[in-house]
Amino acid sequence: MSEFANGRIPESRLVALGSGRDADGTWKHLAPPGTAARWNWLRATGRAKYGVTLRVTPGWNLFRPLDIQFLYRRRLGIMAAQPGFSSHGGVFRGRDCMAIDVQNWGDLAPGNSFTAWARFVALCRLAGFQVDFVKPRETWHIGDFDPWKVPAAAKDFRINSIRVRGQEESDMPIIIVQRADAKLAKGLFDTTTGKLRREISKSENNLYRAAQKTDPAAVIYATVSDKDYAVLRG
Ligand SMILES: [Zn+2]
């Protein structure tokens, strides 16, 4: 756990991703370093795969300092958390957490919210964000429950084994999970179950490598620890 109470993280500990002005004055998009890395990876992957640059909603919609939590609660009522308990504050239900409000996930498939949602959930899952964890439901609100840990490399993203609703669509990138310390064992990740569907052979892997050369966003390699690999294999 971080040492900071909800809404009390010093700005010096956060990465600035953007800022602007509105009727309340200046706002900033501030993220703990792990969240910043995951968000940057999510954006880059969304851009590479769908040509869409995801945006944080303008306003204090990443880290939300305590005084702003009071302001938003007065304004939004139950649609904003009780001050001191916001998942935008750094702690949520006793765990480190940093939430981000994503303004434009619908752009991932204009006019088809089901497909846009499926793509958004897959991207979030790969980047290590959870969706759909607050009430009332907020589709735009995603959470990083490991905000202070920076992934060792861009490909080193934890894959949450939680279920996605809805069906898989063929246009989704193929995700191949490999073990950090034994690169030979590789499996196809199933975004609908959050588990490996099956392991793949060396020759099949060579085909995926070739496909990736043609379309870099079509195949994603994710490296996980031996332990996580065992969990994903089920
Ligand atoms: Zn939010």
Query: By residue range, what is the domain housing residue 195?
Result: 174-233
Q: Which of 125, 144, 163 is the last residue of a domain?
A: 144
Residue-wise pLDDT for 13-56, tens only, equals: 999 999 999 998 999 999 999 999 999 999 999 999 999 999 99
DSSP string, 2-61: -SPPTT---GGGSEEEEEEEETTEEEEEEE-HHHHHHHHHHHHHHHHHHS----BPSSS-
- Of the pLDDT bands very low, low, confident and very high (cuts 50, 70, 90), residue 155 is very low
Give the chain's domain count: 2
Q: Calculate mean pLDDT across residues 138-164.
A: 69
Measured in Å, residue 100 CA sits from the centre of ligand 1 at 6
User: Quick check: 154 pLDDT over 60?
Assistant: no
Measured in Å, residue 129 CA sits from the centre of ligand 1 at 13
Contacts 24+ apart (CB under 8 A), 192-198: 192/163, 192/164, 192/166, 192/167, 192/168, 193/163, 194/125, 194/159, 194/160, 194/161, 194/162, 194/163, 194/164, 194/232, 195/161, 195/232, 195/233, 195/234, 196/232, 196/233, 196/234
H or E segment to which residue 99 belongs: strand 95-101
Tell me: do 26 and 100 sit in the same domain.
yes
Which domain CATH number covers 42? 3.30.1380.10
Examine residue 152 and state whether it is found in any structural domain, yes or no.
no
Report which of 232, 168, 174 is spatially closest to residue 207, judged by C-alpha positions: 174
Measured in Å, residue 25 CA sits from the centre of ligand 1 at 19
User: Quick check: 166 pLDDT over 70?
Assistant: no
Measured in Å, residue 131 CA sits from the centre of ligand 1 at 11
Tell me: do 72 and 120 sit in the same domain.
yes
Tell me: do 129 and 198 sit in the same domain.
no
Q: Please give the residue that has the higher pLDDT: either 181 or 204.
A: 204
Tell me: do 189 and 134 sit in the same domain.
no
Q: Which of 92, 126, 144 is the last residue of a domain?
A: 144
Q: Which of 144, 162, 190 is the last residue of a domain?
A: 144
Measured in Å, residue 110 CA sits from the centre of ligand 1 at 22
User: Quick check: 234 pLDDT over 70?
Assistant: yes
User: What letter would DSSP give residue 138?
Assistant: -
- pTM over cut 0.75: no
Tell me: do 131 and 200 sit in the same domain.
no
Measured in Å, residue 79 CA sits from the centre of ligand 1 at 9
Look-up of token digits 């954006």: 43
Examine residue 15 and state whether it is found in any structural domain, yes or no.
yes
Measured in Å, residue 188 CA sits from the centre of ligand 1 at 32
pLDDT for position 168: 36
